[in-house]
Structure 1
C-alpha cells in the first residue's frame, strides 16, 4: 500500500508541474503573437522593397498583400493558441482521472462517493468536484468527440458561455479555475 502522504505530495507536485508547464512555459509562448505579425509585415515589406519595380509592381497590391501577411499570421497563431488551451483542459481532466485511480483505486464516481462520505466529504455539495466532474469533464469530452451526444447537449445546456460559433473556446482564466478546483478537491479529499 502506498503511503497516503506520498500520494498527497505527488499530486501536489503534479498540479504544480502542470500549471508551470502549461500556463507559464507553453501558453506564454503565444504572448508575442501581435509583435510577430508586425515583424512578418516588416519582413515582407523589406523583401518587396528590394525587388520593387515601379513599372511592374502595383503599390496597392503590395499593401494588400502585406496586410494579409500580418493578419494571416495573427489568425493562425490565435487558432493555435485556442487549440492549445482546449487541449490543456483535456490534459488536465486526464490528469485528474489518473490521480483518482492512484489515490482511490478508481475514477468511478459511484465508488468515490461512499468512500469519501466516510470522511464526511460529500461530493454532491462540493463546488470543486462539480467544476471538475461536471464542467471540465463535459468540456474535455466535447473537445475530444465533438458536440454529438450527451456531452455536447450538456455543454450547450449548462456551459454555453464556453461556446463561440459552435466551438469550445476556453481562456487562461478557465484553465486557472480548473487548476484551483483540482487543488481544492485534493485538499479536501486527502484531508483524512
Structure 2
C-alpha cells in the first residue's frame, strides 16, 4: 500500500471504493438475517411459561395410572409435577439463550467474512500477489481494525468499532469457553454475564466460568444496528494520497509478494 503512495504522487490511485449497490445489499442482508432469525428461531420460545405448565400436567397425567392413594402422598406427586415443569422451563430457557448466542455469532461472522472478502477484492485492483490477500483472511480482529484505521476506512475509537470489538469477545467465549476473552468480558463487559443473586458482588470478584455468558434480545438488535452503522460509515472512496502509513503485518506480506515477482 505504501509503495503505491510513493509511485503515484501525481495521479492518485483508488485503493478502496465502496460501490453503493453493494453497501445497500450487505445492509439489507443483515436486516433480513435478523428478521428471519427472530421469526423462525427465537419466536419458538415466546410461550415457554405455558409450555412448561403443560409439561408438568403431562407428567402428572403419565403418573396417574401408578398413583396408589393408600401409599402415595398427593402433595408429593403435585410437587414432583411442579419440579418437572420448572426443569422443563429451565431447559427451554437455556436453549433459547444458546439459540440467541448462535444467531449473534452467525451475524458477526457473516459481517467479518463480507468485510474481508470486500477488502481482498479491492486490494486486487492495485496489488499483485497472494501473500497480502491470504494475510487479510488470516489476520485477527485487531489487525483488521489496524488496517481499517490506516486506510481511513474506519477509526478504532468510533462507537461501532468499539462495539464490534466487544462482540468479538462474546463470540470467542461462546465458541471456545474460558480464556482471555472471558476474562475481558468479566472485567470490562459484565452485561454479557448472568447477574449474581447478590447484586453487591462485582463479577470480577465472583467465581464464574463461560457458562455465565448470556445475551439479550436488545443486545442482538444492538449488534445488527452496529453492523449497519459500520457499512454506512465506510467512505465511498479512499485514494492512496490520503494514506500515510500501513500496518507492519500488511507491509511484510506485500514485501513477500514483491520478492516472488
Shorter-chain TM band:
0.7 to 0.9
1:144 aligns with 2:184: no
Q: 1:190 to 1:42 in 2, by over 3 A?
A: farther
* Aligned residue number for residue 110 of structure 1: 146
* Aligned residue number for residue 189 of structure 1: 234
Measured on the aligned residues, the alpha-carbon RMSD in Å equals: 2.3
The separation in 1 between residues aligned to 2:186 and 2:99, in whole angstroms, is 22
Q: 1:184 to 1:141 in 2, by over 3 A?
A: same
The separation in 1 between residues aligned to 2:236 and 2:42, in whole angstroms, is 32
TM-score (normalised: structure 1): 0.85
Is 1:124–1:130's contact at 8 Å kept on the other side of the alignment? yes
Aligned residues: 186
* Aligned residue number for residue 15 of structure 1: 30
Structure with max Cα Rg: 2
**Alpha-carbon offset, residue 36 of structure 1:** 0.2
Q: Deviations over 1:71-128 (max 9, x none)?
A: 110000011111112222221221121111122224622222223x1xxx54123101
The separation in 1 between residues aligned to 2:36 and 2:155, in whole angstroms, is 29
When you count helix as a share of all residues, which structure comes out higher?
A: 1
- Runs of 4+ in structure 1 deviating by more than 4 angstroms, as ranges, are none
Q: Where does structure 1 lack aligned partners over 5 or more consecutive residues? A: none
1:48 aligns with 2:56: no
The separation in 1 between residues aligned to 2:29 and 2:217, in whole angstroms, is 19
1:161 aligns with 2:197: no
Equivalent residue of 2:41, what SS? helix
The separation in 1 between residues aligned to 2:65 and 2:157, in whole angstroms, is 67
**Alpha-carbon offset, residue 172 of structure 1:** 0.6
**Alpha-carbon offset, residue 50 of structure 1:** 5.0
Q: Where does structure 2 lack aligned partners over 5 or more consecutive residues? A: 1-16, 121-135, 138-143, 195-207, 238-261
Is 1:23–1:172's contact at 8 Å kept on the other side of the alignment? no
TM-score (normalised: structure 2): 0.64
The separation in 2 between residues aligned to 1:152 and 1:40, in whole angstroms, is 35
Is 2:18–2:236's contact at 8 Å kept on the other side of the alignment? no
The separation in 1 between residues aligned to 2:25 and 2:235, in whole angstroms, is 12
**Alpha-carbon offset, residue 161 of structure 1:** 2.2
